[in-house]
Amino acid sequence: MSDESALVQLEKVSKVYRMGDVEVHALRHISLSIPRGDFLAIMGASGSGKSTLMNIMGCLDRPTSGHYLLAGRDISALGSGELAEVRNRTLGFVFQNFNLLARTSALENVELPLLYASVSARARHSRATEALQRVGLGDRLHHHPNQMSGGQQQRVAIARALVTSPQIILADEPTGNLDSRTSVEIMSLFQELGRSGITVALVTHEPDIAQFASRVLVMRDGRIVADQRQTPREAIVTAASPEEEEGEGQ
Ligand code: ADP
Ligand code: MG
């Protein structure tokens, strides 16, 4: 059954990796619908298929069988040019390791996705500045990653995901490298983006993080074994002590 209003729609999606004679069934007949405005946490043990699912939702990989509709368009029917365009217009990515370019300012890191979208230098600069202001880094535009804390680096990465005005943000363990207070800060930011209408799907193995989402999916052996809505806990950022602020840099 197809749901026209869903932003993400997977229909019996399977993914099989072939390694020599061995087949790894990373996803088994996954059907999943993510309506606009969902804040979804994907949980499950290591190897259960979470990253494979995110990669397929992010059009970074194709299903072995089944269908994937993103914003109503069947991804399997698109050529690589069209696919890149849909991806650039619809999706933003955030990773556990931030994936920022070193020796490059926050501003330049955030401008990067716009470079590929052939946006003028002036517009790149103003849009990247705006995105960094939105994540609370308006005063760190010219800092390099090694001059920022882990939490600040993840904010830059979120600004980079936001700068193309995506409809959905896909984040694979975005708090995996952060301490618990900083993790709550990042979840608070995601909740804020959710309130502004952006759909969020994130992978986490921490129940403490999943409680900030409005829907929790649990995967096991390539299958969805639970899918529940919940009242999200509000991520409240507590003030850091001055020592913590200073000592956080890494
Ligand atoms: P998770 O993110 O939940 O830890 P993954 O989606 O990364 O799980 O992996 C699911 C299964 O698919 C695992 O058994 C993993 O070893 C396998 N797998 C993932 N990526 C590849 C790949 N590129 N080639 C072969 N096997 C893979
Ligand atoms: Mg993974």
Determine the distance separating the centroid of ligand 2 and the alpha carbon of 126, expressed in angstroms. Answer: 34
Pick the atom of ligand 1 nearest to 45's CA.
3
**The model's pTM:** 0.92
In the prediction, which pLDDT does 250 show? 44
Closest residue by Cα to atom 23, ligand 1, is 17
- Angle CA 225–27–11, to nearest 5: 85
Atom from ligand 1 closest to the CA of residue 222: 10
Would the pLDDT of 1 be above 70? no
Given pLDDT bands bounded at 50, 70 and 90, which one contains residue 241? low
Q: Is 96 in the pocket of ligand 1 (CB under 6 A)?
A: no
Q: Are 198 and 219 in contact (CB under 8 A)?
A: no
What is residue 195's predicted lDDT score, i.e. its pLDDT? 95
Nearest residue to 111 (alpha-carbon basis) of 96, 127, 100: 127
Can you say how many angstroms the Cα of residue 69 is from the centroid of all Cα atoms in its chain?
Answer: 18
For residue 158, pLDDT over 90 is answered with yes
Q: Would you place residue 248 in the very low, low, confident or very high pLDDT band (cuts 50, 70, 90)?
A: very low
